[in-house]
């Protein structure tokens, strides 16, 4: 990639739509746009004021053949997404129209953008830091309102501000330590060991608080996989339909109807949950059902949460007990279904299996207990039980790794202070911590890290 190139791409999703947008960015954006756009008023794109919209025709640059009737939006540097000159063509949203418009721009001197190159230019030109750039993709990919709020907060700079404050605190400590090194021959001390240790501890606590949010942040961003398990005909498929608010799974009174793992995405209290309806766990001679049971065990091994479904209208049988014993080591919620029927299962029957686990009594038929089940799922998967929309959450493994490395270096620096080691050792650990923290917002980074991050973006973003 050459940063001096003028780049273009279709910025709207593939397929047909009312509007399709082609984005153009770079130092020659206005000139290239002028070769393919004929404005209704007879002026060129370069003549237009910034942040204005104009009607006209998009034409092939070599033949002048009309491609589409369009609106052109002009955003001149530095007041644009990339801080370069940006022109957007708002076309009719047909794939052929957009392809021909894109080809016209390329023939006029633009280059097809790489994935995420617009946002990468926004980062390189100081419009966004690296954490904010990643939040752009999180915003696009958000599947719940909670995930959307977290992404918006990070795009606004909430994480960047906190990281900046931590980095600033570390930098102040490093300056005082290095000043002491420079004047060590004169016996001048710029910061007492006790004050230095207290300062490092204070910053380390802030880093640790961020680290503690990483699991909840991952769940808010990526979601969890939850498997519905239990013996046949306890109502697993009915519960999936009720939670999904759709008839996704076939429900019949015949045991063994579900033969495969059926997946459905559901939004549970702001958490993306991949809900899996599995074949009933039981001994069977049916070859197809036996394969379904095998797949159930595979799903259980991968699931981050298990919803153990029991039939509350029938006493616990040996298959129920084997299922409960099988899941003793898993994160689980016990769901006693069919609460609309006369109860045959008592809380005392679950003693030993339900310790430290939520028990929820539900009826997939009437909807009773479903809200409590949603609360139980959310409270079980969120490690701290906090509101994901509050404060700052770490949502990327890259951020978590950088914070862990920073915390390790801070712990080493603290030990060095306590053992009265040379100031050079303390300064070295503080520099490592500063660099690790800086990776989050892109103050310290490599081309390889940047390529990995922006490769995940779509071409037009």
If pLDDT is split at 50, 70 and 90, which confidence band does 110 have? very high
If pLDDT is split at 50, 70 and 90, which confidence band does 57 have? very high
Please state which CATH number belongs to domain 133-213+394-442: 1.20.120.430
Please state which CATH number belongs to domain 225-381: 3.40.50.300
User: Mean per-residue pLDDT for 24-37?
Assistant: 96
* Beta bridge partners of residue 197, listed in sequence order: none
| 7-127 classified as CATH 3.30.1360.120 | yes
* Beta bridge partners of residue 224, listed in sequence order: 273
User: Mean per-residue pLDDT for 185-210?
Assistant: 84
State pLDDT tens for residues 343-391.
888 888 887 776 667 899 999 889 999 999 999 999 988 875 545 444 6
Long-range CB contacts (within 8 A, 24+) of 199-202? 199/169, 199/172, 199/173, 200/173, 200/410, 200/413, 200/414, 200/417, 200/430, 201/414, 202/169
Q: Is the pLDDT of residue 249 over 60?
A: no
**How much is the pLDDT for 282?**
58
Percent of all residues in the chain with a pLDDT value above 70, rounded to a whole number: 89
**How much is the pLDDT for 72?**
97
- Both structure tokens of 220: 């808010």
State pLDDT tens for residues 305-324.
999 899 999 988 888 888 88
Residue 22's contacts (CB-CB under 8 Å, 6 or more residues apart) are 8, 9, 10, 11, 88, 89, 91, 98, 101, 102, 105
Quote the pTM value: 0.81
Q: Domain residue spans in the chain?
A: 7-127, 133-213+394-442, 225-381
């Amino acid at each position: 990639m050459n940063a001096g190139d003028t780049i273009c791409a279709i910025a709207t999703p593939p397929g047909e739509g009312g509007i399709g947008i082609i984005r153009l960015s770079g130092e020659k954006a206005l000139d290239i746009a002028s070769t393919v756009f004929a404005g209704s008023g007879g002026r060129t794109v370069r003549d237009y004021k910034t942040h204005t919209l104009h009607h006209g025709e998009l034409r092939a640059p070599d033949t002048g053949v009309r491609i589409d009737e369009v609106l052109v939006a002009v955003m001149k540097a530095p007041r644009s997404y990339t801080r370069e000159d940006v022109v957007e063509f708002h076309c009719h949203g047909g794939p052929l129209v957009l392809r021909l418009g894109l080809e016209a721009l390329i023939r006029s001197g633009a280059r097809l953008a790489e994935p995420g190159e617009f946002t990468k230019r926004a980062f390189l030109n100081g419009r966004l830091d690296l954490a904010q750039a990643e939040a752009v993709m999180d915003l696009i990919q958000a599947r719940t309102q909670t995930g959307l709020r977290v992404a918006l907060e990070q795009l606004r700079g909430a994480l960047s501000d906190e990281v900046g404050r931590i980095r600033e605190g570390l930098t102040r400590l490093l300056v005082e330590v290095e000043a002491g090194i420079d004047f060590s021959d004169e016996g001048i001390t710029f910061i007492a060991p006790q004050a230095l240790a207290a300062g490092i501890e204070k910053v380390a606590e802030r880093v640790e608080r961020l680290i503690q949010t990483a699991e909840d942040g991952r769940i808010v961003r990526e979601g969890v996989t939850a498997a519905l398990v239990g013996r046949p005909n306890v109502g697993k498929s009915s519960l999936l339909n009720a939670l999904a608010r759709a008839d996704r799974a076939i429900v019949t009174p015949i045991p063994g109807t579900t033969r495969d793992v059926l997946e459905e995405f559901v939004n549970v209290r702001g958490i993306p949950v991949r809900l899996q309806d599995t074949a009933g766990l039981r001994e069977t001679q049916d070859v197809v059902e036996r394969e379904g049971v095998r797949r159930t065990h595979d799903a259980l091994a991968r699931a981050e949460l298990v919803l153990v479904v029991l039939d509350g209208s029938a006493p616990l049988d040996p298959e129920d007990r084997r299922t409960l014993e099988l899941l003793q080591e898993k994160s689980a919620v016990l769901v006693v279904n069919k609460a609309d029927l006369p109860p045959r299962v008592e809380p005392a029957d679950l003693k030993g299996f339900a310790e430290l686990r939520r028990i929820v009594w539900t009826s997939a038929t009437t909807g009773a207990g479903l809200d409590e089940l949603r609360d139980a799922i959310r409270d079980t998967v969120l490690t701290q039980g906090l509101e994901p929309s509050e404060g700052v959450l770490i949502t990327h493994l890259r951020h978590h790794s950088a914070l862990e490395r920073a915390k390790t270096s801070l712990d080493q620096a603290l030990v060095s202070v306590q053992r009265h080691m040379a100031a050079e050792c303390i300064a070295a650990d503080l520099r490592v911590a500063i660099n690790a923290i800086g990776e989050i917002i892109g103050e310290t980074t490599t081309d390889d890290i940047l390529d990995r991050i922006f490769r995940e973006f779509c071409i037009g973003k």
